[in-house]
Amino acid sequence: MDIGVIGCGNMGGGMVAQLLGAGFGVRCFDPDPATRLRMADTGAQTTDTATELASLCDVIILSLPKAEIVTAVMNDIAPHIRQGAIVLDTSTSVPATSQAMSALGEQHGFAFIDGPVSGGPAAAIAGTMTMLLGGDTDPIKRLAPVLDILTAKTVIVGKSGAGHAAKIANNMLCAANLVLVAEAVRLGEAAGVNAANLLDGINAGSGRSGVSEVNFPKWVLNDGFDSGFTMGLMRKDVGLALALAKDTGVALNGFENIADIWLNQSPSIADAADFNEIVKQGDTND
């Protein structure tokens, strides 16, 4: 199986490392020459263009910043993709883009699967990501040897676009929970409860979440703020949730106020900062 990765930054680079470690031959393309050089140093083969990579691979993994770039790359490489190949889009994209790219695949004889991931760069490097899959079941089954290397858990959530819809919903909850757990901690501390003890109580009860169980102990309480996922990326995801709600006619009455905190009420927290730093926002208003 010839595997190619387009977009070899933190997430894509982590996936390349996992695949190489498992004995797969991997080709890489990234528009940044320095990143291509770094990938070559890991033992991956590199190509000078995405179209060259597409013509050589049976499985093409996309790890790109946003839906518009997914569309541009796919329109560029589609005529060059092998018949019967599978494109796995691990980017945080949008359902409509995945559906359009799936239709493009039908025209050109390849399968397009949306498989956005959770866990951040650390999970990509460790091969412990969670992947939410949308698309036809046959190509997903054919991807099993690759998915077993890259992920600790995969969930097939539906047809094309379903994976990205589920990822947007997941990140919407993560964004909301960061704000809400921070408020809960401030409330507990104001009442004389130590933050770590409060979280122990919450995590033993019905209010627990990934944020209270992982983010706060790992990146917040120790002032680490080094998860590898930025404020700018989460702001983008918050915007994706609002846009999807508008497109589908769904009211997000509770989330809209929290979205406003991310998008408008936290200008002092730079896009380059760790996304967990949103917990500091309430402190700036004291």
Would you please indicate which residues are annotated as catalytic (active-site) residues? Answer: 167
Determine the Cα angle at 71 with ends 86 and 80, to 5°.
50
Angstrom CA distances, 201 to 175, 191, 198, 211, 227, stand at 21, 14, 5, 14, 24
User: Distance between CA atoms of 127 and 17, rounded to whole angstroms?
Assistant: 9
* Strand partners for 59: 3, 86
Which burial class, exposed, middle or buried, applies to 193 when counting CB atoms under 10 A from its CB (0-12, 13-18, 19+)? Answer: middle
Q: CA-CA distance, 71 to 133, in Å (whole number)?
A: 18
Alpha-carbon torsion angle 157, 160, 162, 163, nearest 10: 80
Alpha-helical runs (H) found in 62-155 = 67-77, 95-108, 120-126, 137-142, 144-150
β-bridge mates for residue 230, sequence order:
274
Which amino acid does the sequence have at 30? D
The Cα 255–Cα 79 span in angstroms is: 41
Residue 48 in 3-state DSSP?
Answer: coil
